[in-house]
Amino acid sequence: MQLDTRSLTESEAALDSLTDRSPLASLTWLAERFAGKAVFSTSFGIEDQVVTHLIFTHRLPVRVFTLDTGRNFQETYSTWARTLDRYQQPIEVYYPQAAAVEKLLAEKGPNSFYYSVENRRECCHIRKVEPLNRALAGQQLWITGIRAEQSANRHGMKSLEWDAGHRLIKFHPLFDWTFEQVRDYVHEHNIPYNPLHDRGFVSIGCAPCTRAVRAGEDFRSGRWWWEDASKKECGLHYTPADSSTEIPNPAPSNLQTSSASIA
């Protein structure tokens, strides 16, 4: 059955009618409504680990996958391994097309993303967006770990929304949670999390494009820190209109540590 925005309206009404509107109750209803066509994308960040815990602990009918960009931190791979050990349930993985990565590095070298926003988006497209499109093909429900306070670009979003690009419903079960709620839940349930969170990393992506943030800095200031804040999306959840800005100084500074911690 082809999905359209009426499915979103029906789902919104159903969730509104639930007595229990917790993330688990909403997630359970949607997972069962879209069973066989429901997926969760994880990058093993702390919010994603909460959602993974809910899905795996309650055996929800949701396929869990990750995008391995090939540039992740070793700590991210360790978190992935610990998650498999803890839950003993499968996490599918999508890699970039080898030919596209080979062509990119042969033509522009391994660090082209530092030289312009256009180059950075090209790398994100090859390593993230294209694999994501394959992962989402034919699906009807895409679950994410996004929270409302994570980015200025995401303040116009809702916890349940229509993704016109992928023609499916997106659900962010932790949308209204604060970082403190996430941190407390992880500790309460002894959920494995990326140790980089204890070293000031809040939003963790690829190693060359992520650094720690200082106390009081914006959540996403550690991602693509050399770019204008308005350009900071990788294309997974946002399609920017302008991709022409050049970066005058491509050299990244050393990582900054922070007192921000989930410990």
**Using CB under 6 A as the criterion, which residues of the chain lie in contact with ligand SF4 when the complex forms?**
69, 71, 113, 120, 123-124, 127-128, 205-206, 208-209, 234
Query: Which tokens hold the place of 149?
Result: 């306070």
Q: Which of 123, 206, 209, 234 is catalytic?
A: 234
Closest C-alpha among 34, 28, 67, 32 to residue 48: 67
Contact between 213 and 221 (Cβ < 8 Å): yes
Q: How far is the CB of 69 from ligand SF4 (least distance, A)?
A: 5
Nearer to ligand SF4, 68 or 161 (CB): 68
Which of 126/169 has CB closer to ligand SF4? 126
Distance CA 80, CA 240 (A): 30
Query: What is the smallest separation between the CB atom of 129 and ligand SF4, expressed in angstroms?
Result: 9
Residue 27 or 123 with smaller CB distance to ligand SF4: 123
Is 206 marked active-site? no
Residue type, 40: F
Q: Give the dihedral sign, CA 54/57/59/62.
A: positive
140/195 Cα distance (integer angstroms): 33
Closer of 209 and 260 to ligand SF4 (Cβ): 209
Q: Report the nearest approach of ligand SF4 to the CB of residue 16 (Å).
A: 37
- Alpha carbon dihedral 24, 30, 167, 242, in 10-degree steps, equals -10
- Smallest gap from Cβ 54 to ligand SF4, in A, equals 27
Pairwise CA distance, residues 184 & 187, whole Å: 5
Give me the active site residues, please.
234
